[in-house]
Amino acid sequence: MSHPLPGIVVTGISGRMGQMLARTIAASDKAQLVGAVERAGHAWVGQDLGLAMGGSANGVIVTDDALEAFSKAQAVIDFTAPAATVEFAALAAQARCTHVIGTTGFEPEHLAKIKAAARHAVIVRAGNMSLGVNLLTLLTKKVAAALDADWDIEVIEAHHNKKVDAPSGTALMLGQAAAEGRGIVLDDHTESGRDGITGARAKGAIGFSAIRGGDIVGEHDVLFAGEGERIVLRHMATDRAIFARGALRAALWGQTQTPGEYDMLDVLGL
């Protein structure tokens, strides 16, 4: 007897990532889209998702009732905003759904609430869902561990002009990896948003620079600058589909895990 495919709900369905996720799940033979959530009052609520996306009807009606949608699903994929994600985490835990979080820009109090929800459900949270970037974090940690504080570390990231948070979640993930390699606490050694007479760069600091423009999907460089030489580790995303594929992989992986908070390194077995 064949088992039905795991059902997945996508939140923030009208957004760029929401629509990309809907298309990725529809094209997959490992999962099915069973729900689509938008905020109350959004024009898509009550509409057939396929029609709302400009295609043919697919029978998935967009809803603003997240709990009702989650209760019929095995996983939720969520690229929205911090406050919304915290609410979704509590509802996904209630529905015992795997919650895959690609949202970035969290404050410590948001993360504490997500951690509490992870006692009851599987949560996979990653600043970036791509295989390449997760390999880059491992390389960054290794290189940082091999070099002393005479090497300056800068994380340089570029994104499209609609991105609202900076540095990006991925840049912070890379900075965290560099800090771990060095055996230091990132928050105590961060240098970002330089402007005016800033004085010399602090020794041992991890710097962040953000570029915003056009339709850049995501580019991240980790620069290690020493006397007379530099090492640059780089990842360039040219298609948002890599994040959707990673998120789907995380949702399927979560089906066999025990409740807790995981990241993409866990999913990828890295």
> What is the mean pLDDT of each successive set of 10 residues along the chain, which is 270 residues long?
84 96 97 98 98 97 98 98 98 98 95 98 95 96 97 98 93 97 97 94 97 96 98 96 96 98 94
Q: Which CATH class is domain 131-237?
A: alpha beta
What CA–CA distance (Å, rounded) separates 74 from 76? 7
Residue ranges of alpha helices (H) inside the chain are: 16-27, 49-52, 66-70, 82-94, 108-117, 131-146, 169-182, 241-253, 264-268
Q: Is 235 a catalytic residue?
A: no
Q: What pLDDT is attached to residue 224?
A: 98
Q: What is the pLDDT of residue 1?
A: 47
Is 220 an active-site residue? no
- The pTM for the full model equals 0.86
Distances (CA, A) of 133 to 220, 225, 246: 9, 21, 11
Domain ranges for the chain: 7-125+240-268, 131-237
**Which position among 42, 115, 120, 163 bears the catalytic label?**
163
Tell the CATH topology of 7-125+240-268: Rossmann fold (3.40.50)
- Kindly state the DSSP code that residue 2 receives in the 8-state scheme: P
Structure tokens at 31: 């999962």
Q: Which of 99, 159, 220, 235 is an active site residue? A: 159
Beta strand residue intervals within 187-228, DSSP E: 190-192, 206-212, 218-226
Residue type, 48: D
* pLDDT on residue 4: 87
* Contacts of range 187-190, beta carbons closer than 8 Å, 24 or more positions apart: none
CB-count exposure of residue 1 (10 Å: 0-12, 13-18, 19+): exposed
pLDDT of residue 127: 86
Q: At what angle do helices 169-182 and 131-146 cross, to 10 degrees?
A: 30
